Structure formats: structure tokens, C-alpha cells
Amino acid sequence: MHGVITNELLLRQIASGDREAFRALYRNTSDMLFSVCLSLLKDRARAEDILQDAFVRVWDKAQSFDPAKGSASTWLVVMTRRLALNELRRHKHDGPSLDDADCDLADTIAADLSEGDPIGKRRLKPCLEKLADMQRESILLAYIHGYTNEELARRFQRPLGTVKSWLLRGLADLRKCLQ
């Protein structure tokens, strides 16, 4: 087979038990997924544990990947992020300050833009800056630091419905800006 072997193809091969494909996918994506874990957990050992859990899950669940629903990178980031958020919730955190929200959002979300999009990071920052302050802060805290809607409502001392609206409208505006 000529050409580049994509992560999507590797996931299909992993679903049929191909260990070499698993090694290749690990080499292709482990740095990116580790940065997702580390940005949420702020603890190298815990991030390494979650990364290992994520790849165990990849091996077990590769057959559930559906390329019609998104790229392999997005599937991997979402799954890894969920594991890291579950770890955060198990070990309740004090919560970062808004200054911590300046962590490299682009690296965490870049996989969601589209695989292989080299300008994605540069496109994201101006789109975030166009959002209202509360929308931007809510999105950063929710998607980077793992805050739940209820935690955001308490943090901002606003009704839960208001926080949900900030998130929904902010994400819709981000999608629109990025298209």
C-alpha cells in the first residue's frame, strides 16, 4: 500500500487485533494525548496512568471508532479527556484560577478542528477573543480544567441555566468562527 497510513486506518487494523498498528498509533498520538492528560491533571504520574488507561481502552474499543462521526484524533482526544476528567472528579480539585485558563488551549482542542490542520491553533485564539468574557472563561474552565456546569455556576455565582447558555452560545460562536 502506497501513501501515508492514517490513524483512522490504524484504528481499523487495531480493531482486528493488529499489534503493529497499535504500536504505530501509540507513536503517532501518545505525545498529543499525554499533553491532554497533563494539562488537565497537572501531575505527571497521574497523567501517565491515564494515558496508559486510554491506550488500554483504544485496544479494547477500537471497533467502536466511526470515521463518519469525526477524525481518529478527535475520537482519541475525547476519550482521553473523559478519562482524565473522571480522574479529576475522583480526586476533587480545588479548581484553577482564571489565570490558569491561559494554558495552551490550542494544543488541547487542535485535534477537534480537523486532523492535520496546521493553522487551527492560530485560528482558535482570535475566535476565543471574540467571545464575551464569561463565555470564554466558562469554555476554558469547562473544556480545559474539567469544571462541570454546576461548578461553573457556583464559581460565577450565576444560575445553572445562565452558565449552560454561556457554554452553548459560546461553543456555537466558536464553531461559526472556525468554519
CATH fold of the domain at 96-179: Arc Repressor Mutant, subunit A (1.10.10)
pLDDT in tens, 154-178: 999 999 999 988 888 888 888 888 7
pLDDT in tens, 75-128: 898 899 889 888 887 876 444 433 343 334 444 454 444 444 445 566 777 888
What cell was used for 130? 471574540
Residue 59, pLDDT score:
96
Give me the mean pLDDT over the 137-147 stretch.
78
pLDDT in tens, 19-32: 999 999 999 999 99
Domain-wise residue ranges, the chain: 1-93, 96-179
Structurally, what CATH architecture does the domain formed by 1-93 represent? Orthogonal Bundle (1.10)
